[in-house]
Structure 1
Amino acid sequence: MKFNTLAQKAAKGSAPAFKGGALEVEHLITFALAHGEEGAAKIERLSALYGWLDDGLLPDGSRVVPFGRWARACAAFARGGVPAVQPLLAESAMADIAIGVLESVRSVDAVEALLAFGEDSDWHGDDPAHPAWKAVSGLNSLLSFDDGVPVPHTTRQRLHRLLVRAWSDAPTDRLRSLCLYTLRGATTPEALAWAQALVLDAPTLIAARKMAVKTIKRRLDPTYTAPNAIQKWQIKRARNSAT
C-alpha cells in the first residue's frame, strides 16, 4: 500500500478523520510491514495530523478503534522490528495492541516474543481479553494451523510448558479449550502424551482435545510434509472465507 492510499483512507469515509476515517487496523499493519523507517514517520505524521485517539472509549460511552495506540505500535515495528514492539507488552495500555501487531508479523521472533511475554505473565483471571490470554490466542493463530510459522523443536517445547501452566490456572472451560487448541502448535511427543492423559468431562474440552491430538499425531507422523507456499495460501484463503 502506498502512502497516498493510506492517507486517503484516513481522510475519507463515514467516520471523522480523528476516528480513522475509512482506515482499518490492517491497513496500518500492512503499511508498517512494507515501508520500514520511512513508513514509521508517515504513520506518526498521519496520527498527529488527524489527532487519532489513544482511548477507545469516548465520553458518550461509544467505542472507537484507538488508532493512536495502533499507530504507535505499528511505527515501533516499522522502525525497529519485533525488538521495538516487545517493550510495549509491558505497558498495560499497549499490551493488547502490541500482541495484535506481533500476531500479524508471523515470524519466529514474533512467536518468541509472545512466548516470553506469556512466561512472565500472571495467568489468574477469566477474561479472554486479558493480555496473557490474548498472547495465547496469538500463539494459536501463529502456530496451530498447517500454514503456521515454522519454529524449532525447542520453541514447541516451550509452548507446551507454557500451556501446561496456563491450563492449571485457567478458571473456565473456554480458556482451557483455548489451551488445547493452541497445543496443536506444540508438536512434540510430550505434548501429545500430556493431552491424552487429561481426565475431561466437558464436551467442549473433549472436542478440543480430540482436535489437538489428531493434529499432533498427524504432524509427528514421519510421512507428514508441511504445505508449500501455494498450499499455505490456499489454507489461509479457506480459513478467511470460513470466518
Structure 2
Amino acid sequence: MKFNVLAQKAAKGSAPAAYGGALEVEHLIGFARVHGTEGAAEIERLSALHGWLDDGLLPDGRRVVPFGRWATACAAYARDGVAGLRPLLADPAMASFAIGMLEAVRTRDAITELLAYCERADWHTSNADAAPWSALGALNMQLSFEDSVPIDATLQHALYETAVKAWGATSITHLKAVALYALRGAPLAASLAWVDALVVADPALVSARRLVLKSLNRRLDASYATPDARKRREIAKVRGRAT
C-alpha cells in the first residue's frame, strides 16, 4: 500500500478518524512490512494526527479497534524488524499486539521470538485471549499447515516442549485444544509418541487428537515432501481466499 492510500483510508470511511476511518489492521501490518523506517514515521504521524485510541473500550461500552496500540507495534516492526517487537512483548499492555505483528511476519526469526516468549510464559490462565495463548495460536497458524514457515528440529523441539507444558497447565478444554493443535508444527517422534499415548474423553479433544495424529503421521512419513516456496505461496493464496 502506498503512503497516500494509507493516509486516505485513515481520513475517510464511515468510522471516525480516531477509530481508524476506513483502515483495517491488515492495512497497517502490510504497510509496516514494506516501508521500513519511513513507513514507521508515517504510521506514527497518522496516529498522532487522528488521535488513534490505545483503549478499544469506549465509555458507552462499545468496542473499537485500538489503532493506537497497533500503530505502536507496526511502527516498531517497520523501524527495527522482529527485534523492535521484543520490548513490546515484555509489556503486558502491548504483548498481544506484538504477537499479532509476529504472526503476520511469517519468518524463522518471528517463530523464534514467539517461542522464546512462550518459554517464559505463565500458562495458568483461563483467558483464551491472554497473550501466551495468543502466541501459541500464532505458532499453530504459522507452522501447522502446508504453507508453514520452514523451521529446524531445534525449534520444533522447543514447540513440542511448549505445547506439552501448556497442555499440562490448564484444565480448560478449548485451551488444551490450542496446545494439541500446535503440536502439528512439531513433527517429531516425541510429538507422535506423546499424542499417541494421550487419553482424552472430551469429544472436542478426541477429535483434535485424531486430527493431530493424522497430521504428524503424514509429516513423519518417509515419502512426505515439504512444499517448496512457490507451492507454499499458492497454498497461502487459496487459504486466504477461503477465509
| TM-score bucket of the superposed structures, by smaller chain | over 0.9
Looking at structure 1, the residues matched to 226 and 37 of structure 2 have their Cα atoms a distance apart, in angstroms, of: 34
Question: Partner residue of 1:115?
Answer: 115
How many Å apart are 1:217 and its aligned residue? Answer: 1.2
* Per-residue deviation, 1:86: 1.3
Give structure 2 stretches of 5+ with no counterpart.
none
Root-mean-square deviation over aligned CA pairs: 1.0
Give TM-score, length-normalised by structure 1.
0.97
User: How far has the Cα of 1:139 moved from its partner?
Assistant: 0.5
Q: 1 CA distance for matches of 2:231 and 2:35?
A: 27
Shift of 1:203: 1.4
Alignment partner, residue 37 of structure 2:
37
Matches within 5 A, 1:141-160: 141-160=141-160
Report matched runs for 1:153-172 at 5 Å: 153-172=153-172
Q: Indicate whether 1:55 and 2:36 are aligned.
A: no
Q: Distance in 1 between matches of 2:157 and 2:126?
A: 25
In structure 1, how many angstroms separate the alpha carbons of the residues matched to 2:158 and 2:122? 17
- For 2:208, the equivalent position in structure 1 comes to 208
Q: What is the match of residue 93 of structure 1?
A: 93
User: Aligned partners of 1:241, 1:78: CA distance in 2, in Å?
Assistant: 26
Q: Superposition pairs for residues 9-48 of structure 1, below 5 Å? A: 9-48=9-48
Q: Which amino acid aligns with 2:181?
A: Y
Q: Return the alpha-carbon distance in structure 1 between the equivalents of residues 86 and 195 of structure 2.
A: 31
Distance 2:162 2:181 in 1: 13
The Cα of 1:61 is off from its aligned counterpart by 1.0
The offset of 1:92, in angstroms, is 1.2
2:81 counterpart SS class: helix
- In 1, distance between residues paired with 2:229 and 2:121? 34
Contact residue 123 and residue 169 of structure 1 kept, 8 A: yes
1:182 maps to amino acid: A
The Cα of 1:220 is off from its aligned counterpart by: 1.1
1:135 aligns with 2:132: no
The runs of 5 or more residues in structure 1 that have no matched partner are none
User: How many angstroms apart in 2 are the aligned matches of 1:105 and 1:190?
Assistant: 28
Query: Which residue in the other structure is 1:74 paired with?
Result: 74
Query: Are the counterparts in 2 of residues 32 and 40 from structure 1 also a CA contact under 8 Å?
Result: yes
